[in-house]
Amino acid sequence: MNIRIWFHKDVLILGVFVLLALLPTVGQSQSFSESALQAASAMEIGESGSGSDSNPFVWQPPLTDSTASSMAGPLAESSPFWPEVPLWHRQTYAIGPGDTLLGMLLEASVPRLEADNVLEALSNRLDLRRLRVGQQVDLVFAQSGESEPRLAFMAIAPDPVRTITLTRQGDSQFVAGESTKAVFAVSRATTGIIRNSLYADGLEAGIPVSVLLTMIRVYSHDVDFQRDFQPGDQFAVLYEQILTHDGQPVRDGVLLSANLILSGKEKPIYRFTNALGKTDYYDRSGASQKRALLRTPIDGARLTSSFGMRRHPLLGYSKMHKGADFGAPSGTPVYAAGNGAIVEAGRKGAYGNYIRLRHGGDIATAYAHLSRFAPRSRPGLTVMQGDVIGFVGSTGRSTGPHLHYEVLRSGKPVNPLSVVFPAGENLQGPDLQAFHVVAQERDATFTLLLAEQHNQSGAAFTPVAIPCAAGDMC
């Protein structure tokens, strides 16, 4: 329903016009006009007008806060373009599937020339091809005297942080502006029991995907996700969430600390940045979690075939199995076991879709039977440990979806589950002392947040916000 609210029908605005005529200076007139606009915006305004139920424009409460003050100037002042204090109304439009901003403006009766100028003014601040379905666009029209209403102001928030505004300047030109909200990092604490896999149970507990993937990557250095997990094992996670000052989620934050309790044994890790600015994860003693290679480059998989001689399930005779097989659903992400360069990525006989990475020294890893490759998995490109390089499949000579994983030393296959590689650097001196302080603070924060959740009997709680400018919190 297209509803237009014209403020000159209100007695208050009529009184404002009388007072405006008596004011001696332009400056006073402008100031009073802004106050009048704010007063009118705060009033309860009844609906008037009529329209088809299929019309996409719906009246919303007047804009407030910074947007209202931005509108006050161009809408409340008289000027050569607005010879009288203009009357204004607002329309809010929601982008639907297949809609374009140009189409929306034309449907709102904005002339084609002005609509083109709007798009040109926005082009340096907004990717018009990436407007999401449901994206709201506020249009404010002004009418001076008996003239037709003309677009005076526009606002669109492409994400929770930014608001892009457009203000008329001249007969058909527009100037774009931008405002941003302050963002904060808040800490969240979550615990859970592993019944299926760390990934599946972590998602069910509400942990963001990016935090879970970091946790899996860090623990993959010394945890076998097939053999080390037992029913009833537990996890505890402390992580950040980035919010605007009014509580709108912006993005996932970092994993601050975590603990896996496997068969009663704790495996805590903590995020720490040393004096040189290098960030890594360490256990409680300050030992790095990094290893040259991940023990298992996949999460939640079961070991279906070990390294060594075996009776081949398809060929029917004994044959050396040069790697380890991990059964997992088709499409499960496969991670690079270590930093390296892609030397092969393509079809390779019985291996099916195959990737081979060259790491430092004489070490290489191989990944076979993939359903597909990650977009950047091409020969010659480099990858970092934990990057997704492909997805589980059943291509080549295969009995079902699984990952065949090989580790090669000087070109010869070795057992991926028993090979030992050197660990990363451990903290020492002042860095170790600072790390112990951070670890204690993280443990205290985690305990406090869990206590708050318990005291509120499961109700949502509001953690203390920490500005993103503080340290490496964001």
CA 290 remoteness from chain centre? 26
Residue 226: the pLDDT is 63
When pLDDT is cut at 50, 70 and 90, the band that residue 385 belongs to is: confident
Residue 222: the pLDDT is 72
Residue 343: the pLDDT is 93
Residues of the chain with pLDDT > 90, as a percent, come to 26
Question: Which residues are CB-contacts of 294 (< 8 A; sequence separation ≥ 6)?
Answer: 217, 220, 221, 335, 337, 338, 385, 386
pLDDT at residue 124 tops 90: no
What's at 112, amino acid-wise? Answer: R
Place of tokens 């008996």: 146
Report whether 424 contacts 291 (CB < 8 A).
yes
pLDDT at residue 460 tops 60: no
- CA dist 393 and 374 (Å) reads 13
Q: Give the angle 80-82-83 at the CA atoms, nearest 5°.
A: 70
Residue 413: the pLDDT is 87
Structure tokens belonging to residue 195 = 């019944």
When pLDDT is cut at 50, 70 and 90, the band that residue 304 belongs to is: confident
CA 375 remoteness from chain centre? 19
Residue 370: the pLDDT is 95
pLDDT at residue 372 tops 90: yes
When pLDDT is cut at 50, 70 and 90, the band that residue 157 belongs to is: confident
Report whether 403 contacts 369 (CB < 8 A).
yes
Structure tokens belonging to residue 109 = 């009766």
pTM for this model (two decimals): 0.57
Structure tokens belonging to residue 335 = 């991670």
Residue 312: the pLDDT is 56
Mean pLDDT within 90-98: 85
Q: What is the pLDDT of residues 307-354, one digit of tens each?
A: 766 565 655 556 677 788 888 899 999 999 888 899 999 999 989 999
- CA dist 280 and 456 (Å) reads 34
When pLDDT is cut at 50, 70 and 90, the band that residue 301 belongs to is: low
- CA dist 38 and 344 (Å) reads 65
Place of tokens 């037992």: 230
pLDDT at residue 457 tops 80: no
Mean pLDDT within 88-107: 85
pLDDT at residue 28 tops 80: no
Mean pLDDT within 359-388: 90
Q: Which strand (E) or helix (H) includes residue 443?
A: helix 429-455
User: In this predicted structure, which of 164-168, 318-322, 328-332, 437-441 has the lowest mean pLDDT?
Assistant: 318-322
Report whether 10 contacts 41 (CB < 8 A).
no
Q: Return the top range by mean pLDDT from 129-143, 281-295, 353-367.
A: 353-367
Residue 443: the pLDDT is 93
Q: Dihedral sign for Cα 453, 456, 458, 461, please.
A: negative
Residue 165: CA count within 13 A, CB half-sphere: 19
Q: Which strand (E) or helix (H) includes residue 255?
A: strand 249-262
**76 or 136, which is more confident?**
136
Residue 5: the pLDDT is 36
Q: Dihedral sign for Cα 434, 436, 442, 445, please.
A: negative
User: Which residue, 364, 375, 298, 368, is CA-closest to 335?
Assistant: 298
Cβ-based burial of 309 (10 A; exposed 0-12, middle 13-18, buried ≥19)? exposed
Q: What is the pLDDT of residues 41-83, one digit of tens each?
A: 332 222 223 333 333 222 233 344 344 334 444 444 444 444 4
User: Which residue, 178, 185, 139, 177, is CA-closest to 162?
Assistant: 178
From the CA atom positions of the chain, what is the Rg in Å?
31
pLDDT at residue 109 tops 50: yes
Measured N-to-C along each axis, helices 11-22 and 26-42 cross at an angle, to the nearest 10 degrees, of: 170
- CA dist 209 and 220 (Å) reads 16
Q: Return the top range by mean pLDDT from 27-41, 156-170, 180-194.
A: 180-194
- CA dist 167 and 180 (Å) reads 17
User: Which residue, 183, 114, 177, is CA-closest to 142?
Assistant: 114
Question: Which residues are CB-contacts of 365 (< 8 A; sequence separation ≥ 6)?
Answer: 293, 297, 336, 337, 338, 340, 356, 357, 359, 405, 406, 407, 408
pLDDT at residue 244 tops 60: yes
Report whether 183 contacts 162 (CB < 8 A).
no
User: Which residue, 385, 342, 346, is CA-closest to 364?
Assistant: 342
Q: What is the pLDDT of residues 210-243, one digit of tens each?
A: 999 899 888 877 776 766 778 889 999 999 999 9
Question: Which residues are CB-contacts of 251 (< 8 A; sequence separation ≥ 6)?
Answer: 242
- CA dist 78 and 81 (Å) reads 8
Residue 123: the pLDDT is 85
Q: Which strand (E) or helix (H) includes residue 16?
A: helix 11-22
As a whole number, the mean pLDDT across the chain is 75
**457 or 74, which is more confident?**
457
